[in-house]
Amino acid sequence: MSVASREKIVINQPPINPELIAENIAHVRARIAESAQRAGRQPHEVALVAVSKTKPLADVKMAYDLGIRDFGENRVQEALEKLATFCPPDLRWHMIGHVQTNKAQKVFGAFHCIHSVDSLHVAEALQRAAEKKSQVSGEDRRQPILLQVNVSGEASKEGMAPDEAPAIARQILSLPHLEVQGLMTVAPLVDDPEQVRPVFRALRQLRDRLREEVTDACWDQLSMGMTDDYTVAIEEGATIVRVGRAIFGERIKK
């Protein structure tokens, strides 16, 4: 289980103040741009996924009206409820939490991208779900996914070990309904984000290695960096940052 999902969280928190969320988004965008520039990259090379888990749809709508188009959720049920209620054509929902294999049927095809494919087992469940769906409806879709890697090796974290990633990647690439686009990681909780720079660097290096060794996927995406560490992640090559609290405020915990 990831640190984030271990939190006991109250759902249906009160909506955020509209001025505050506007300020927050402007601040995050500015820091993304600064970090990209420091690394000699363009701000548009970094996609911002606003992590709306536990937050009411009112917050999602406010963020949407302020220009956010990518939203991340870590629980399947909550995510499916939200996307059934609010899904303008240009909004992209991302699954960033562990997908239990018995939820694969519901998850396949519902999200723009599943960041959290953490084992061959999960990938195979998604592939089977896709096959069933295409038998029923005839639609033949490919689901973009990222492979979640447990770079730090913490026992509490989901994700495959970096050493296993090339072999697992090769097997997943043989599943025709999945489209591997890159890697994702969740860094340990630390006081100073500099402490997790090596984690982000290691994910990028693993990506570079996969690019050379496993050539039939694009490996372009690196989903790394959260509220406390996204600036460091961008300096180390993140193409997607997943930011919750810096946009929507603290999640109320019990």
Residues that bind ligand PLP (CB under 6 A): 2, 4, 51, 53, 74, 96-97, 186, 226-227, 242-245
Q: How far apart are CB 63 and ligand PLP at their closest, in Å?
A: 13
Nearer of residues 6 and 212 to ligand PLP, judged by Cβ: 6
Give the nearest residue (CB) to ligand PLP: 244
Q: How far apart are CB 111 and ligand PLP at their closest, in Å?
A: 13
Q: How far apart are CB 135 and ligand PLP at their closest, in Å?
A: 32
Nearer of residues 141 and 245 to ligand PLP, judged by Cβ: 245
Q: How far apart are CB 165 and ligand PLP at their closest, in Å?
A: 18
CA torsion angle 142 82 97 198 (round to 10): 100
Nearer of residues 5 and 101 to ligand PLP, judged by Cβ: 5
Nearer of residues 77 and 174 to ligand PLP, judged by Cβ: 77
Q: How far apart are CB 51 and ligand PLP at their closest, in Å?
A: 4
Nearer of residues 92 and 209 to ligand PLP, judged by Cβ: 92
Nearer of residues 1 and 161 to ligand PLP, judged by Cβ: 1
HSE-up of 90 (CA within 13 Å, CB side)?
6
Nearer of residues 94 and 177 to ligand PLP, judged by Cβ: 94
Q: How far apart are CB 61 and ligand PLP at their closest, in Å?
A: 19
Q: How far apart are CB 205 and ligand PLP at their closest, in Å?
A: 21
Place of tokens 């209620």: 85
- Among 1, 28, 3, smallest CA distance to 189 is for 3
CB of 131 closer than 8 Å to CB of 177: yes
Beta bridge partners of 147: 117, 183
